[in-house]
Structure 1
Amino acid sequence: MTEDNSVVERTGWAPVRHFAERSVLGLIVVALFGLAFGVLLLLVRFHWSPLQDLDRSVADSLNRWASGSDTVVAVLQQISSFGGRGFLIPLVVLLTALLLIRRRPRPAIYMIVTGAGAMLLDPSLKALIGRLRPVVEVPVAQAPGNSFPSGHALGSMVVYGMIVLVFLAAIRRSWRPVFIGALAVLVAAIGFTRIALGVHFVSDVLGGWLLGLAWISVTAYAFRIWRREAGRPTPPLTDGLEPESGPDLRIAPAEPAVLPHPWAKAAEILVGWVFVFGLLYVVGYTVKRWTPGFDVAVVEWLQSFRTPGLDDLSHFWSKAGDTHTILAVSLIFCSLALAFWRQWRPVLFLALTMVGELTLFLCAAAAVGRPRPPVEQLDGQMPTSSFPSGHIAATMCLWAAIAIITMARIRQPWRWIFPALAVLMPLGVALSRMYRGMHHPTDMMGAALLTATWITVLWFTVRPNAHAETASEAAAEAAEVAGSPRKLESIS
């Protein structure tokens, strides 16, 4: 009796039969999605009249509905942005980094390959088919390039489908239907917005979905064959692509209570917020009524250095403190913090810092009502008053909070980069805002006061670095175990 036959006798034919059944079923699914897309492609390419009539009818009806309200158009555009490359590419990069940090290279490679393939399929097929965009009575949005298939529909189906397949193992079984359903609703909503905005036909969106399903089916099947060749089991897809990665992908499985007494802490934070607002109002009212002589003099002196080159540089630095940049840096840092340290406490500290900064700035600016400096303002009329500076306060709070979190958790010498950024970034934003004539020096002092007092409140209430040593030791132990020859997983 051969060795192979002895193995079969010991283990039975069940695993082999299950693998064969799943393989055949997977091939059938791939073939069906590919066939459906091929049929739709032919109908579009040869201008099948019933399909064209349906496309035009739906496009005209939704255009009449959407064009009647600017609010509806704004909501549709916001939902649509979750399927654009400007959102999906950074999302895939961030999730791939998370997988690599958690020492899961195989699903990371899967996401890279699948995402890159979708990026190549979309422009290639659009150029090959050459279908023009819809022409509607009241255009409310524009999009470059050809129409079939919808890139937003294709990209959202592939990316959110990948997220389901890769991260399903980290979700509790009772929550998996909710997780899948939420992402499915998001994909459907993105496709609907592309039709309602008048930039795609129904068949464009259907084509994008079918092509996306076919592509992730092909790559998922290839990934399962890869696992089989590496000697790993191939469980059903309802357990995710790599079920054993679940413990590594869970966010904070063993973290102590973030806030042991949440209602008491919330009351403390609220009281602190009120005192910080009162202090800002008193200082702001004072400088508004008795403006120091140097306030306008400094701004006028900075304006004497204006050149086109410095105007562009100041615009760049000013953008470093606007809402979009602050939000993007906050989201990226929070994601990486969860990946490295597996704690919610630093994320909560940063989130409360930025939410408190925003509310304190808006309330203080509305209450004080200080006018902008009486000089030429390069950014034009702003909706808020001058004291305190929102750009400067947001930059100070963001980088100060990041420095506090990282200095307690990183032991390497390069950790001093973060305190340096906590000084350099606000300084650059402050100089740019005053150079552009948008703020007085005392507005910058108000931003510094807001930052110092609000972060002090959160330092004593949230205690962002509690259990930091425990988290660092756990991460080091996990890295040591994962890096040992006995535990290290091979990519092949």
Structure 2
Amino acid sequence: MSAVIDGLRRPLGHFTERTLAGLALVLGAGVGFGLLLVLVRVHWTPLYDVDHGVAAWLNALVAPHGPLVTVLNALTGLGGRSVIIWLVSVAVIGLLIRRQGRLAVFLIVTGLGALILDPALKTLVDRLRPEVKVPIGSYAGDSFPSGHALGSFVAYGALLLVFLPAMSPRWRKPAIALVALVVLLIGLTRIALGVHFVSDVLGAWLLGAAWLGVTAYAFRLWRLERGRRVPGWTEGLEPEAAHEVAPAPDEAHLLPHPRAAVFELLVGWVLVFGALYGFGMFVSYHAGGTFLATLDSEVPRWFADRRTPAWDGFSFWWSKAGDTHAILLISLVFCPLVLAVWRRWRPVLFVALAMFGELSLFLAASAAVDRPRPPVGNLDGPLPTSSFPSGHIAATICLWAAMTLVVLPRTDRWWRWLFVTLAVVLPVGVAVSRMYRGMHHPTDFMGAILLGTLWLGLLYWVVRPNEDLAEGNRPAIESEQVDELDDELARAGRAD
């Protein structure tokens, strides 16, 4: 009996010790934030002097260096609301797909809390932004606390706690250090860009630590009520979910022969570029008197003669389906969903290489061919690239065709045909809108088709994104379903 009591007493003692230590840290962060808030509100002179002195000193130090400002703006973007919302949303959807509802709820509650606290406190404090001599950073709203510093602390910290179990123990401390470094750099960039005072960032970190500590502590109590052990912080929130939160736990290797694959892709890229360059030079400068020259001359004029304000607006929004922002957004949603559902990196690599190759081939061919835009009034103004090939059309073809090649063989659901339809309709619609707006010739459209066909064909042959569907290597979701069925049959057999 005493052994049983001792066995219960030890884990409870560990939990009590960890709880007290955690509560002390949370309370310390909360008290520190409250004290700082009071000092900001009463305009405490020493704090005021430090804040404004550092802001002026950093502005004089950073503003003259354009490349440094560019780097700082890129780093500060990692704490922007759009990036944070994307990261948390993708993680929540992935966790729900993997049936990790409690972890998804933790991320939702923690993230929403930060989203509510930031504007609420800014309105309460109503502190003006720093006034620097040379403005170099963009901002909106009040100053205290820093939304970027608060959001990055809470979001990256919460994601770290959720996904730590998926890492091997030797990589957990480096991962914690990396996240801490990213959060630190984001906060420092807000000060260096002159959009926040030092106390704004310190206040955000203290508030973020307090809020993240409260939600993590609530999750630990949730586990205790369910009769589960309370893990150490370096184990993450749910150690038992290590397999489920790992991005691709069922994939032994990405490519069987990576060096050969890299060589094949490099040689293939050069060959595709050669084909693009040859076709582009022919239609741009040597096709006079041919049917292609007539097509390139008459089609842009035909569209230009039939422009109306309504069609101008419609073509503008339709062409947006192929611009960089839309393509990047769709890619950043599709790739994490592929990981969540099929637990494979290779389809993600296929889509990523499709877009990277398309962009590099488009830029190289555009610079080499240097084809003028059609001789009609264009509706989008001057652009930094030449006419051949169309980047909008090529990107649309590569993205939607790559996604279709991944999805089509992996499901027998009716919605897979939506990808086939969009892979045809969207490139045609973008092509028509770009020619209507006077930005491209018909042969630029042909060049985009040539680019997409050759590059995707090469990638499919080298990467083989659906190799895991071969006999004896089932997709992860199907394998789990079959394993569950086998277990049920085994239990039924034992019952008989």
TM-score, length of structure 1 as denominator length: 0.94
Structure 2: tracts of 5 or more residues without a match: 489-496
Q: Which amino acid aligns with 1:180?
A: I
Residue in structure 1 matched with residue 214 of structure 2 by the alignment: 218
Preserved contact between residue 295 and residue 442 of structure 1 (Cα < 8 Å) = yes
Preserved contact between residue 247 and residue 343 of structure 2 (Cα < 8 Å) = yes
1:250 and 2:246 aligned? yes
1:90 and 2:86 aligned? yes
CA RMSD of aligned residues (A): 1.9
Q: Which amino acid aligns with 1:266?
A: V
Residue in structure 2 matched with residue 371 of structure 1 by the alignment: 372
In structure 2, the CA distance between the partners of 1:299 and 1:172, relative to structure 1 (3 Å rule), is same
Residue in structure 2 matched with residue 490 of structure 1 by the alignment: none
Question: Which of 26, 37, 59 is the aligned partner of 1:63?
Answer: 59
Please report how far the alpha carbon of residue 382 of structure 1 lies from its aligned counterpart in structure 2 after TM superposition: 1.2
Structure 1 CA distance, aligned partners of 2:484 and 2:63? Answer: 56
Structure 1 CA distance, aligned partners of 2:473 and 2:426? Answer: 28
Residue in structure 2 matched with residue 80 of structure 1 by the alignment: 76
Residue in structure 2 matched with residue 230 of structure 1 by the alignment: 226
1:434 and 2:435 aligned? yes
| Structure 2 SS opposite 1:281 | helix
Structure 1 CA distance, aligned partners of 2:110 and 2:135? Answer: 34
Preserved contact between residue 173 and residue 234 of structure 2 (Cα < 8 Å) = no
1:42 and 2:42 aligned? no
Please report how far the alpha carbon of residue 206 of structure 1 lies from its aligned counterpart in structure 2 after TM superposition: 0.3
Q: Which amino acid aligns with 2:374?
A: P
Please report how far the alpha carbon of residue 6 of structure 1 lies from its aligned counterpart in structure 2 after TM superposition: 8.8
Residue by residue over 1:17-73, the C-alpha shift from the partner in whole angstroms, topping out at 9 and shown as x without a partner, is: 122222222221111110111111111111111111110111001111221123222
Structure 2 CA distance, aligned partners of 1:482 and 1:123? Answer: 47
The more displaced of 86-95 and 72-81 is 72-81
Residue in structure 2 matched with residue 175 of structure 1 by the alignment: 171
Preserved contact between residue 130 and residue 146 of structure 1 (Cα < 8 Å) = yes
Residue in structure 2 matched with residue 467 of structure 1 by the alignment: 468
How is 1:220-299 mapped onto 2 (pairs within 5 angstroms)? Answer: 220-289=216-285, 290-291=287-288, 292-299=293-300
Structure 1 CA distance, aligned partners of 2:475 and 2:259? Answer: 30
In structure 2, the CA distance between the partners of 1:35 and 1:459, relative to structure 1 (3 Å rule), is same
Structure 2 CA distance, aligned partners of 1:251 and 1:471? Answer: 18
Preserved contact between residue 341 and residue 471 of structure 1 (Cα < 8 Å) = no
In structure 2, the CA distance between the partners of 1:141 and 1:10, relative to structure 1 (3 Å rule), is closer
Please report how far the alpha carbon of residue 129 of structure 1 lies from its aligned counterpart in structure 2 after TM superposition: 1.0
The more displaced of 175-184 and 109-118 is 175-184
How is 1:390-409 mapped onto 2 (pairs within 5 angstroms)? Answer: 390-409=391-410
Residue by residue over 1:345-368, the C-alpha shift from the partner in whole angstroms, topping out at 9 and shown as x without a partner, is: 111211221121111111111111
Please report how far the alpha carbon of residue 483 of structure 1 lies from its aligned counterpart in structure 2 after TM superposition: 10
Structure 2 CA distance, aligned partners of 1:221 and 1:399? Answer: 43
Residue in structure 2 matched with residue 478 of structure 1 by the alignment: 480
Residue in structure 1 matched with residue 114 of structure 2 by the alignment: 118
| Structure 1 SS opposite 2:322 | coil
Q: Which amino acid aligns with 1:269?
A: L
Structure 1: tracts of 5 or more residues without a match: 487-492
Preserved contact between residue 55 and residue 203 of structure 1 (Cα < 8 Å) = yes
| Structure 2 SS opposite 1:137 | coil
Preserved contact between residue 172 and residue 234 of structure 2 (Cα < 8 Å) = no
Residue in structure 2 matched with residue 103 of structure 1 by the alignment: 99
Please report how far the alpha carbon of residue 154 of structure 1 lies from its aligned counterpart in structure 2 after TM superposition: 0.6
| Structure 1 SS opposite 2:214 | helix
Residue in structure 1 matched with residue 305 of structure 2 by the alignment: 304
Residue by residue over 1:390-432, the C-alpha shift from the partner in whole angstroms, topping out at 9 and shown as x without a partner, is: 1110110111010001011112121111111111111121111
Residue by residue over 1:83-120, the C-alpha shift from the partner in whole angstroms, topping out at 9 and shown as x without a partner, is: 11111112110110111111111010000001001111
| Structure 2 SS opposite 1:265 | helix
In structure 2, the CA distance between the partners of 1:12 and 1:141, relative to structure 1 (3 Å rule), is closer
How is 1:127-142 mapped onto 2 (pairs within 5 angstroms)? Answer: 127-142=123-138
Q: Which amino acid aligns with 2:480?
A: A
Preserved contact between residue 354 and residue 459 of structure 2 (Cα < 8 Å) = yes
| Structure 2 SS opposite 1:136 | coil
Q: Which amino acid aligns with 1:406?
A: V
How is 1:273-352 mapped onto 2 (pairs within 5 angstroms)? Answer: 273-289=269-285, 290-291=287-288, 292-352=293-353
Identity of aligned pairs, percent?
54
In structure 2, the CA distance between the partners of 1:202 and 1:84, relative to structure 1 (3 Å rule), is same
Q: May I ask how many residue pairs the two structures share in their alignment? A: 482
In structure 2, the CA distance between the partners of 1:332 and 1:66, relative to structure 1 (3 Å rule), is same
In structure 2, the CA distance between the partners of 1:380 and 1:482, relative to structure 1 (3 Å rule), is farther
Preserved contact between residue 157 and residue 213 of structure 1 (Cα < 8 Å) = yes
Structure 2 CA distance, aligned partners of 1:310 and 1:480? Answer: 53
In structure 2, the CA distance between the partners of 1:76 and 1:8, relative to structure 1 (3 Å rule), is same
Preserved contact between residue 342 and residue 471 of structure 1 (Cα < 8 Å) = no
Residue in structure 1 matched with residue 7 of structure 2 by the alignment: 11
In structure 2, the CA distance between the partners of 1:7 and 1:319, relative to structure 1 (3 Å rule), is farther
Structure 2 CA distance, aligned partners of 1:480 and 1:114? Answer: 36
| Structure 2 SS opposite 1:408 | helix
Please report how far the alpha carbon of residue 482 of structure 1 lies from its aligned counterpart in structure 2 after TM superposition: 7.2
Q: Which amino acid aligns with 1:83?
A: G
Preserved contact between residue 321 and residue 391 of structure 1 (Cα < 8 Å) = yes
